[in-house]
Amino acid sequence: MRILLIGAPGAGKGTQATLLSQALGLPHISSGDLLRDHIERETALGSAVRGYVARGDLVPDAVVRDMLRKPVVAAAQGGGYILDGFPRTLEQAEDAYETARDLGVEVQVAVHLDVPEADLVQRLLERGRGKDDTEDVIRHRLEVYRERTVPMLAYYAEREELVSVDGSAPADDVSRAVLALLEAVRARLSTPT
């Protein structure tokens, strides 16, 4: 199954992706992790994106798209993926669909981890991610989520590919809920209409 996780910073995408990856035996592909890895290894791509990531701004679409193409196609050919962090805007979703559809690797189900904003700020401040995660950067990342990612939810909802779970529950409860929803989606996908 080809799954996209959508959630605000702090919504628990990373935790859920790991749990789901184990439960379903699918690789977890995180745009944020891949970008941070480039930054750490000081690759050319890493130095091009460092500033955006530190500010909490989105890096240019073409950079993420090109970085993800190979791993996504490979995972899809191997049985599916759990994609986390990309697509992240309506434009990325539309653009990715155009490219992915021809290869048969497009997202089949988008899982929205829904967490109230007050909880998010609290979680993010507690977690920190080093000195970059000041309260200003956290608030900015939440604003970018609200302005750029939230409109993408309607895109998947219109396509009837969106499922939503309450992400404020304990992680194990959230993953149980997600797995149950995915089971229903799997049944639907395997029933020809």
35/110 with CB nearer ligand ADP: 35
Q: Which are the contacts of 155, defined by CB distance < 8 A and separation ≥ 6?
A: 90, 93, 94
The least CB distance from residue 111 to ligand ADP, in Å, is: 14
Q: How far is the CB of 29 from ligand ADP (least distance, A)?
A: 11
Binding site for ligand ADP (CB under 6 A): 9, 13, 31-32, 35, 52-53, 56-59, 64, 85-86, 88, 92, 141
User: Based on CB atoms, which residue is closest to ligand ADP, 27 or 85?
Assistant: 85
Any idea how long the chain is? 193
Cβ closer to ligand ADP: 52 or 97?
Answer: 52
Residue 75: name the closest of 112, 107, 123, 53 by CA: 107
User: Which one, 95 or 161, has the nearer CB to ligand ADP?
Assistant: 95
Contact status, residue 111 vs residue 1, Cβ threshold 8 Å: no
User: What is the nearest approach in angstroms of ligand ADP to the Cβ of residue 9?
Assistant: 3
Q: How far is the CB of 66 from ligand ADP (least distance, A)?
A: 12
Residue 13 CB coordination number (10 Å): 22
* Residue 98 vs 183, nearer CB to ligand ADP: 98
| Residue of closest CB approach to ligand ADP | 32
Which structure tokens are listed for 43? 């690759």
Tell me if 20 sits within 8 A of 12, measured CB to CB: no
| Segment holding 30, helix H or strand E | strand 28-30
Q: In the complex, what is the shortest distance from the CB of residue 1 to ligand ADP, in angstroms, rounded to a whole number?
A: 21
Minimum separation from the CB atom of position 75 to ligand ADP (A): 16
Rank residues 18 and 186 by Cβ distance to ligand ADP and give the closer one. Answer: 18
Task: Say if residues 68 and 12 touch (Cβ distance below 8 Å).
Answer: no
Residue 110 contacts by C-beta under 8 Å, 6 or more apart in sequence? 3, 4, 5, 6, 153, 156, 161, 162, 163
